[in-house]
């Protein structure tokens, strides 16, 4: 059983400490952004089932990614589930990290459907930690994640949002940024890529070593995606022929370590914060930084203190108390999640003795 802990003292003043030039870490399910969190696929060793081909959604919204299965557009294709793998953690982890592996010689593809209530998206933000080994000759067809555009299910051009490897963002009825990127695509490198579309612009960032670099900014670009289905795998250049393109000429071996989707355009500061969090947690099976005490309210007249923290659906928590940060007493170990935010109130507080609280997920 894994415990996640956060400690605070009351009464207190909250102070954020950070190195100059470094963004403050922002957990993907932080209360400030969790409302627009559409899906979160992480910790493959714990959340991906290679037998069923299902990658469980860690956002708490049950938007699980499942195998596309059998389709018949220009010919019958049956998409299988990918496999569980490991890959170098690159500059973010000294050890190999677990991944979901998509192979160049297999039609393997996952989809998380209806992330925006079956409506197209004008605003979105995608984070993906991945490693791509291009084998084919046309990397604009190698698109490991994105909304819409699947070789076996799409024959008509549409407004999609695919993270391609040439590098560009591909719509299928056009492309965004090809030839305009300030850096090449990091081949055979585990890195963090962030792509964002707002009502007024499209932006893209690469992060290979902990430094977030904006590699594309296209003001004045705006459209609505034709679908809110999010695909993971080799969307256009798989083992089977691509409708409208003939033979599959851009096969790739690729490992997706983690990917997060928001149905809104996060701010630059939020993009940097999630990148900081990912950089510190790539490949971590322990969600130690997810659990954050977000507020404490002290009622001196009633002699009570109410602690609030961000939580996940179905979670179970314990709250401990200490006066010296050495000896801890458990107040309650059966607190059930109340959803995205959970609270606990300690009553009968006496005097002005400092008290430290710690929350654990069981």
- In this structure, the answer to whether residues 252 and 344 fall within a common structural domain is no
235 pLDDT band, cuts 50/70/90, is: confident
DSSP 215-241: EEEEET-----S---EEEE-SSSSSSP
Could you list the residue range(s) of the whole structural domain that residue 109 is in? Answer: 34-281
Whether residue 156 is predicted with pLDDT greater than 80 in this model: the reply is no
Residue pLDDT, tens place only, 44-75: 998 999 999 999 999 989 999 999 888 776 67
CATH of the domain at 226: 2.60.120.200
- In this structure, the answer to whether residues 102 and 39 fall within a common structural domain is yes
- In this structure, the answer to whether residues 339 and 220 fall within a common structural domain is no
- In this structure, the answer to whether residues 69 and 130 fall within a common structural domain is yes
pLDDT of residue 72: 74
Residue pLDDT, tens place only, 89-113: 999 998 899 999 999 888 898 999 9
Rounded to an integer, the average pLDDT of 201-218 is 97
Indicate whether 147 belongs to any domain: yes
CATH of the domain at 322: 2.60.40.10
pLDDT of residue 152: 59
* Domain stops at, among 281, 303, 332: 281
pLDDT of residue 7: 45
pLDDT of residue 245: 63
Q: What is the tally of structural domains in the chain?
A: 2
**Tokens at 356, concatenated:** 């430290």
Say if residue 158 is exposed, middle or buried (CB neighbours under 10 Å; 0-12, 13-18, 19+).
middle
Closest CA to 175 of 143, 198, 153, 152: 143
Cα distance between residue 283 and residue 278, in whole Å: 9
256 pLDDT band, cuts 50/70/90, is: very high
- In this structure, the answer to whether residues 145 and 85 fall within a common structural domain is yes
Closest CA to 129 of 271, 287, 259: 259
- In this structure, the answer to whether residues 274 and 299 fall within a common structural domain is no
* Domain stops at, among 220, 253, 281: 281
Strand 341-346: give its sheet, edge to edge. 293-299, 304-310, 341-346
Mean predicted lDDT score pLDDT of the chain: 85
290 pLDDT band, cuts 50/70/90, is: low
* Domain stops at, among 281, 304, 333: 281
Whether residue 141 is predicted with pLDDT greater than 90 in this model: the reply is no
Helix (H) or strand (E) holding 280: helix 268-281
Portion of the chain with pLDDT greater than 90, in percent: 53
């Amino acid at each position: 059983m894994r415990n996640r802990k956060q400690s605070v003292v009351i009464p207190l003043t909250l102070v954020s400490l950070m190195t100059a030039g470094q963004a403050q870490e922002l957990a993907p399910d932080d209360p400030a952004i969790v409302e627009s969190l559409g899906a979160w696929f992480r910790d493959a060793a714990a959340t991906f089932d290679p037998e069923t081909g299902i990658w469980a959604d860690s956002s708490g919204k049950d938007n699980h990614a499942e195998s596309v299965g059998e389709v018949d557009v220009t010919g019958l294709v049956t998409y299988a589930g990918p496999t569980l793998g490991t890959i170098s953690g690159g500059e973010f982890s000294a050890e190999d990290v677990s991944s979901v592996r998509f192979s160049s010689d297999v039609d393997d593809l996952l989809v998380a459907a209806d992330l925006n209530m079956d409506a197209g998206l004008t605003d979105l933000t995608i984070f993906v930690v991945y490693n791509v080994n291009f084998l084919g000759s046309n990397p604009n067809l190698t698109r490991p994640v994105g909304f819409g555009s699947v070789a076996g299910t799409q024959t008509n051009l549409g407004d999609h949002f695919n993270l391609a490897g040439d590098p560009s963002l591909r719509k299928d009825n056009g492309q965004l940024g090809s030839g305009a990127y300030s850096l090449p695509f990091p081949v055979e490198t585990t890195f963090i890529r962030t792509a964002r579309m707002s009502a007024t612009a499209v932006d893209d960032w690469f992060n290979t070593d902990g430094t977030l670099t904006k590699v594309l900014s296209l003001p004045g670009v705006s459209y609505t995606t034709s679908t809110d289905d999010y695909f993971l795998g080799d969307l256009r250049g798989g083992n089977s022929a691509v409708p409208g393109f003939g033979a599959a000429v851009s096969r790739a071996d690729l490992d997706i370590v983690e990917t997060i989707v928001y149905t809104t355009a996060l701010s630059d500061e939020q993009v940097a914060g999630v990148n900081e969090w990912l950089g510190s947690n790539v490949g971590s099976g322990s969600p130690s930084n997810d659990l954050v005490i977000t507020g404490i309210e002290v009622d001196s007249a009633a002699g009570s203190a109410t602690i609030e923290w961000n939580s996940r659906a179905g979670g179970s928590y314990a709250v401990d108390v200490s006066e010296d940060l050495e000896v801890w007493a458990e107040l309650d170990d059966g607190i059930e999640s109340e959803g995205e935010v959970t609270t606990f109130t300690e009553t009968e507080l006496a005097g002005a003795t400092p008290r430290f609280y710690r929350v654990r997920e069981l």
